[in-house]
């Protein structure tokens, strides 16, 4: 019989293998960006203030191999008021202005076809800068949507991060661990599921999962049950709402078939574990997650 301790050890190592391996590089580059923008817009020398990590990196659900880092930089509200008085696509004008400020120190900064402000680096990492403003009621972030003639949009990504922090603490770290493992599965099989949807579904699942207070020894069971949950979602449900912000998250394509295959493989791996055939089980786990899972 395979032991819970053996299961715990391999999943601990798996989680460790998924860890972002270049946080110092990412932090240094983002601090450089923050320093330039703080000096220009706020007349301060800080390299950390007004900058917030967004996306999976900000929610700490990203895994090794991440190449796109999203950051929010908060500008003074007077800048919003200035552009609000303008005409035409003032949102695109703002994005171009921030790009021009950054070009002085980061000459590769550019606005791409999707109207995203990007700083590409030689190692393949690209940082997207989203300029924003704190709304007067302090509840939302105003940001420029430059497509379709331009408009101002609002969101609350900081509250989304606070929410996943609360959930992760409530369930002993399993929320982020399961979200990272699911990303490994997504990358290995090119599963068409957005990262924000992964994090949202993990939190919904964890609220109802009977093992939500268990430890690493039950991670195999957690994977099996989560894949069964994903496979069982109704195909006609096309969107969900992010916890913390109520932001609408669209389903891109159906991922149920991918999840059903993973569920069956996880079930097979657990049966092998129960027989004490851990090495053979590891091969099945690798079929689900790729080479990051330890052999």
DSSP letters along 88-133, please?
A: S-HHHHHHHHHHHHHHTT-TT-EE-TT--EEEE-TTS-EEEEEEEE
Spacing of C-alpha 105 from chain mean position: 28
Q: How far apart are CA 49 and CA 1, in angstroms?
A: 53
- 197: Cα within 13 Å, side-chain hemisphere: 19
Q: Say if residue 1's pLDDT is above 80.
A: no
Q: How far apart are CA 107 and CA 95, in angstroms?
A: 15
Average model confidence (pLDDT) for the chain? Answer: 95
Q: What percentage of the chain reaches a pLDDT higher than 90? A: 92
Name every residue whose Cβ is closer than 8 Å to that of residue 43 and which is 6 or more positions away in sequence: none
pLDDT tens digits for range 168-196: 999 999 999 999 999 999 999 999 999 99
Q: What percentage of the chain reaches a pLDDT higher than 70? A: 99
CB atoms within 10 A of CB 208: 9
Banded model confidence at residue 2, pLDDT cuts 50, 70, 90: low
Banded model confidence at residue 52, pLDDT cuts 50, 70, 90: very high
Q: Say if residue 260's pLDDT is above 80.
A: yes
Predicted structure pTM score: 0.94
Q: Is 92 exposed, middle or buried (0-12, 13-18, 19+ CB in 10 A)?
A: middle
Picking from 35, 33, 193, the residue whose alpha carbon sits closest to that of residue 119 is: 33
pLDDT tens digits for range 187-239: 999 999 999 999 999 999 999 999 999 999 999 999 999 999 999 999 899 99
């Amino acid at each position: 019989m395979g032991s819970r301790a053996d299961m715990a050890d391999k999943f601990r190592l798996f989680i460790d293998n998924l860890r972002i391996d270049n946080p110092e590089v990412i932090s240094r580059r983002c601090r450089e960006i923050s320093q330039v923008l703080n000096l220009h817009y706020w007349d301060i020398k800080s390299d950390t203030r007004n900058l917030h990590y967004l996306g999976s990196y900000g929610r700490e659900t990203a895994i090794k191999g991440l190449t796109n880092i999203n950051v929010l930089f908060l500008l003074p509200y007077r800048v919003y008021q200035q552009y609000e008085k303008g005409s035409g696509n003032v949102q695109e004008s703002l994005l171009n202005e921030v790009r021009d400020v950054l070009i002085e120190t980061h000459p590769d900064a550019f606005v791409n076809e999707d109207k995203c402000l990007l700083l590409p680096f030689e190692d393949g990492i690209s940082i997207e800068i989203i300029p924003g403003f704190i709304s007067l009621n302090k509840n939302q972030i105003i940001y420029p949507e430059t497509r379709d003639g331009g408009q101002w949009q609002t969101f609350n990504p900081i509250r989304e991060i606070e929410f996943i922090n609360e959930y992760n603490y409530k369930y002993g770290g399993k929320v982020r661990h399961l979200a990272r493992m699911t990303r490994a599965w997504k990358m290995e099989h090119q599963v068409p599921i957005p990262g924000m949807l992964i994090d949202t579904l993990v939190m919904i699942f964890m609220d109802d999962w009977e093992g939500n207070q268990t430890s690493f020894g039950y991670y195999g069971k957690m994977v099996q049950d989560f894949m069964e949950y994903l496979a069982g979602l109704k195909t006609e449900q096309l969107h969900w709402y992010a916890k913390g912000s109520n932001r609408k998250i669209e389903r891109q394509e159906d991922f149920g078939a991918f999840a059903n295959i993973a569920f069956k493989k996880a079930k097979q791996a657990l049966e092998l574990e129960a027989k004490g055939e851990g090495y053979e089980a590891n091969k099945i786990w690798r079929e689900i997650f790729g080479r990051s899972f330890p052999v």
